[in-house]
Amino acid sequence: MRIGIIGCGHAGRRHAEQLRKIGEAILVSCYDMQAASTDRFATDYAVSACRSLDEMLDSRLDGVTICTPPTTHARIVAAAIERGIHVLCEKPLATECDDCLSIPRSDLLMCAFKFRHLSGAAMLREMIAEGRLGQITHMRGTATSDADMAGKWFSDARLSGGGVLLDNGVHIVDLCHYLAGPVERVTAAAAESSRGLAVEESAAMCLKMECGATASIFVSWESPAPMAPLIEVFGTKGYARLGYEMQAFDADKKLMRHAAAEGVDIWQEVLANFAGFVAGRVKPSATFDDGFAAVAVCEAAYRSIVTGKSELPRQLEIA
């Protein structure tokens, strides 16, 4: 399968390294809006350097991975899908719901929600669905780091669309959605940026889930801390935590541990899933609907930060 990479920065290189390990997928071309980045990438990975998006998309590709800043995603995804090319889009799918809706609701699209590929994530989802933790009452999600985004596109809202909510928040929101279903209502607040960025560096969300549970999420670029579980799940009969390992204390009062992959292996799983998706062997781990749902919750969170009120995420119309 012939694969191209759009966006030749850190994420694009991460995708390229993983594609090298997948025998059925051949990385053949790259494109970045910065010609120098395209040329360096093409030299490093021995692929063709394309000078425009159209040149790349018109070059007989089976799939593309999109690793550009978020405000460019919707336009590029739509252009690829219109040509019948399978797409793996980095998160978020877009920065606003309206931009998501400019993308054809196609079965050619996969969203790159890497934490769905954590070893133990599918097991925990099954445990919840089977009621082995009882009724889910609360989930607590955390993603913190000390990441100075000053001078990077992450802190330029014209490229990023927002701050840490759209960068890390979508991942935790998606885990909540993946494990327990849709979000019904959102309340959010953002802390004042310690580095004076124009976008939020720390933010908290309180979610009401359609299943009746609540969820609290804290994400930050300015809060160095030991690696915490990405998400904890509290039920009436048990408890579980999912990070780079999964632990669960279920209704039988049995403590389960499931070792998880390192972060690089998660990306290997993402790209392997994409290759299988392009080949028609497997379904994508996350679809357009999943990408839209995460953006809708973050969009509602931004409204809540402004209004100080609880906000409803936008819903997809049933086709």
Closest C-alpha to 112, from 274, 277, 297, 313: 274
Q: Is the pLDDT of residue 319 over 70?
A: no
pLDDT given at position 259: 63
Residue type, 142: T
Mean per-residue pLDDT, 40-46: 98
State the average pLDDT over residues 137-158.
95
How confident is the model over 213-222, as pLDDT tens digits?
Answer: 999 999 999 9
Top pLDDT among 194 and 317 is at 194
**Residue 240 scores a pLDDT above 90:** yes
Share of the chain above pLDDT 90, in %: 86
pLDDT value of position 197: 95
- Nearest 10 degrees: Cα torsion 138, 140, 141, 144: 170
* Global confidence as pTM: 0.94
Domain ranges for the chain = 2-115+270-286, 116-260+293-307
Q: How many CB atoms lie within 10 A of CB 21?
A: 10
pLDDT value of residue 262: 43
Is 47:28 a contact under the CB 8 Å cutoff? yes
Q: Which CATH superfamily is domain 116-260+293-307 in?
A: Dihydrodipicolinate Reductase; domain 2 (3.30.360.10)
Q: How far apart are CA 71 and CA 94, in angstroms?
A: 6
Superfamily of domain covering 2-115+270-286: NAD(P)-binding Rossmann-like Domain (3.40.50.720)
One-letter amino acid of 31? Y
Taking the alpha carbons at both ends of the chain, their separation in whole angstroms is: 31
